[in-house]
Amino acid sequence: MVFIRQASLPDAGQIAKVHVESWKSTYKDIVVQEDLNHVLSYEKRKVLWETVLKSNSNDKILYVAESEDQKIVGFISGGTERSKKFNYDGEIYAIYILEDYQGMGIGKMLLDAFKKEAEEKGHQSILVWVLTANPSKKFYERFGAKPIEADEITIGDGTYEETAYGWENILSIRE
């Protein structure tokens, strides 16, 4: 059994662990190992998540998936769309689930919690960026997201293509 709840500051270390471990498993065949090594620092990710969790931003959305033994096995974060290039007002910045817990409906549970809070905060549309070679993009497609545009992102020393997916109407996120 997994529970979804809002994240709090003491969760930063476990969120960082999920973030790093998920990148290792998800991107191992997509991103060159040397490029992954540049960004996969548990310590840096812990500081990042502590900073996010300490921020007083009213727009921050951050939920964790917690197992019965109180281990964080996934998370979703987001807020206001950052690029201002598209006609979307909300954005999922990250959603990661440990490999052993994928395929159990946790992603949908996290997406549902995100959608509910995004609606409460007044967001009417949602955008998410996904590495184009990432097979997990099918997750967003399954819930009705449409590809919008591709762009390049730098990870370490490498350049990779990512695709923006979006829901023009937050209410169109499939249940």
Residue 163 sits in a domain whose CATH number is: 3.40.630.30
Q: List, for the chain, all residue ranges whose pLDDT scores fall below the cut of 50.
A: none
Write the DSSP assignment of the chain as a string of letters: -EEEEE--GGGHHHHHHHHHHHHHHHHTTTS-HHHHHHH--HHHHHHHHHHHHH---TT-EEEEEEETTS-EEEEEEEEE-SS-SSS--EEEEEEEE-GGGTTSSHHHHHHHHHHHHHHHTT---EEEEEETT-TTHHHHHHTT-EEEEEEEEEETTEEEEEEEEEESSGGGS--
- Name, in order, each residue with C-beta under 8 angstroms of 105's C-beta and a sequence gap of 6 or more: none
pLDDT at 171: 86
pLDDT at 175: 65
State the greatest distance between any 2 C-alpha atoms of the chain, in Å, as a whole number.
42
Cα of 53 vs its chain's centroid, Å: 15
Rounded-to-integer distance, Cα 18 and Cα 158, Å: 23
Q: Which tens digits make up the pLDDT trace of 33-68?
A: 999 888 888 999 999 999 999 998 888 999 999 999
The boundaries of the domain holding residue 91 are 2-172
Q: Residue with structure tokens 């992603």?
A: 107
What domain count does the chain have? 1
Listed residue (95, 96, 58, 108) closest to 80, CA to CA: 58
